[in-house]
Amino acid sequence: MRLLLLVLFAVAIGGCIGGQSTTTVTKTTTTLDQFPLNELISNAKTRLISDSIYQPEICSDIIVHSSKTGDCEGCFVIDYRFKCIITDDGVNITYIKVVTANYIKGELTELSNPTVRRSCITDADCVLQPPLRNINYKCIEQMCYDRSFDDPMAMKCINEGNHIILKKLSNNALISLCIFKNGNQCEISSHFFGGCDANTDNLTSCQQFRDGLCRKGYQPVCGKVTIKTDEGDIYSWKDFDNACLACKNMGKTEITEAYIPGICIKKTTTTIPSSFSIDPEIQYCEDKGYAFRIREYATGKEYGVCIFGHEYQCPELDYFKGLCGPSV
């Protein structure tokens, strides 16, 4: 009897084990290879035109910027990218637009608002005129991005209550200028290492010219030279034919750390360079207690501004005419 019970128990256990069933869940995924790319782009372009996001008269070159698939059948997301040329004050500016498109079962269901960025090749192409304060421009994948300054050189300038702007040079290089409260300015690395301060103006670091050869040409600069003596380092000013030659001055006893555009002039109490005459608008600016300074466009052309303080400045002739000012 006991043996019969054991046999029956074994049969029951075996039946339970043998009767177990398992369920396999197959995950459905989608690859974009299942859908003709040209057809996706064409349908997206039609939808973008319908939603007034893509204007055929000014926009072109729509491509797939990036994509990712979803977990359901025919579910995926595509970022479409295209460029549009907009005319502003007679100048053509190229912008890049990126639009996210959501698909379900292979059908376009939703478009996001476009991300609009200026087109670029180098960081210098991203600099606005006038440049924004404390904004570090970066060109990433031919699109302009705004970044904050966070490096020690920049933070020294900002933490002292000044601000930074990027200046585009005629060779398409960028330099970062620390703008002081009195309107003076200098390159941030020069300021960081003590080569300039609020009492000097327009000093530019030599770092960009340390490597490579110099081109011939006369564009005089006044170099700030560090001279090594037994008593310690002293500073002096020296004329050079151009900035590159000034910065190649790296001897054992002296080295040019920075420079100011133009020839070296004798220090005076006036803020007007010797190459400028005293005209009424400059005199008017200074008589009102403000500072006159010479600035330079990226093309190298100089212009004058009347500086009202940390917040604002305008061309000295416009101030003289009453078109701008500290309260206008």
Compute φ and ψ for 146, nearest 5 degrees: -95, 130
Query: pLDDT value at position 92?
Result: 80
* Closest C-alpha to 247, from 187, 157, 298: 187
- Looking at 92, 118, 144, the residue that finishes a domain is 118
Q: Cis peptide before 152, with omega less than 30 degrees from 0?
A: no
12 domain residue, yes or no: no
* Closest C-alpha to 43, from 86, 98, 107: 107
Q: For residue 172, give the amino acid letter.
A: N
Query: pLDDT value at position 302?
Result: 72
Query: pLDDT value at position 268?
Result: 33
CB atoms within 10 A of CB 41: 16
Same domain for 44 and 109: yes
* Closest C-alpha to 179, from 201, 208, 210: 201
State the Cα–Cα distance between residues 328 and 326, nearest whole angstrom: 6
State the Cα–Cα distance between residues 45 and 38, nearest whole angstrom: 10
Integer-rounded Cα Rg, in Å, for the chain is 33
pTM, rounded to two decimals: 0.48
6 domain residue, yes or no: no
What's the average model confidence in pLDDT over 214-221?
Answer: 78
Residue 217, domain extent: 206-264
pLDDT tens-digit series, residues 23-63: 454 555 556 777 888 888 899 999 999 988 899 999 998 98
The pLDDT confidence band at residue 142, using thresholds 50, 70 and 90, is confident
* Closest C-alpha to 260, from 194, 205, 297: 205
Query: pLDDT value at position 322?
Result: 80
Q: Flag whether pLDDT at 13 surpasses 60.
A: no
Into how many domains does the chain fold? 4
State the Cα–Cα distance between residues 159 and 152, nearest whole angstrom: 10
Query: pLDDT value at position 11?
Result: 47
15 domain residue, yes or no: no
- Looking at 166, 198, 230, the residue that finishes a domain is 198
Query: pLDDT value at position 299?
Result: 58
Same domain for 294 and 237: no
